[in-house]
Structure 1
Amino acid sequence: MKLVNNLMKAPQVAVTMQEFGKEMTKGGVIEEMMNDAVDDALDSEDIEEETEEEIEKVLTAIAGETAAQLPEAIRRKEKLKQPAATSEEAEENVDDEEELEEIRARLARVRS
């Protein structure tokens, strides 16, 4: 037993373990302090409220710009909807209708 104690040097191991325990305690306390500081910095209700206010301002500004541009966009859309009828298009429509009538007449003859 003495031989094993001499090889292990129990008193030195005990001192080392005590120092290690102290360092671990310091590390744990420091870690807790850091976590608390980070949580306080990130979880601030004031920051959340300020963020929500800024988001509301941006959305209001965007909505205002969109509302200002809306009448002009509607006018542009109405202009696009208005057909520009030309004489060529009118003639093509008449020709298409005549061809359609001829096809209907042929179909009627085939059926009878």
Structure 2
Amino acid sequence: MASVMQMFIGKKLTPEEQVKKWRQSVRAQERELDKSMRGIDAEEMKVKRHLKAAAKRNDATSCRILAKEIVTSRKARDRLATSKAQLNSLTMNMQQQLATMKIAGTVQKSTQIMKLVNNLVKLPEISATMQEMGQEMMKAGIIEEMMEDTLEMGDEDEIEAEADEEVNKVLFELTDGMLGEAPAGVGAAFEQEKEKEKESKAAEDDFAARLSALRE
């Protein structure tokens, strides 16, 4: 076990203490992500109110701009939620690594931990902390040299088309079908519901007309 402890150069921590320190740091980052997500949710509620008000004014241009804001905020929130799940996975992997150290008495590299750290470094909100943690893990022998940030860019036209589709869904959702387009499969159901409402209204009018004729 002494050989393991010697790998934590300059830290003067046992493996248990080092993992505990990392876990505390991860929990702190999770709290930061929770705070950011709550802020995004609160802002989205405000934008929704503005969009519905614009729809009542028949201001389609403002509605579309606001719908784009909602799409952007939802993507940002999804990104944070994914990162929080990865932080949780990182904690579990560190615990497994610690258990392995206790049994084998040596450090074993973990490709899963390295993958998670490299993914989390790309998140601006926690990048600095994850870079520091990654450097410590490299010194401890748990991961190899961290990868360069290689963010793959997709086809711009495809991304733009997907964004427009999301905007149309938001518009449809928040304006009760007045603007935008329904998601696949929902549009037909929405139209069927409107037809049922029309038929029901027509039946009511017909019944009222016949009742009025009988009274005359």
Higher radius of gyration, 1 or 2: 1
TM-score by length of 1: 0.37
Higher relative contact order (CA 8 A, sep 6+): 2
More helix by share: 1
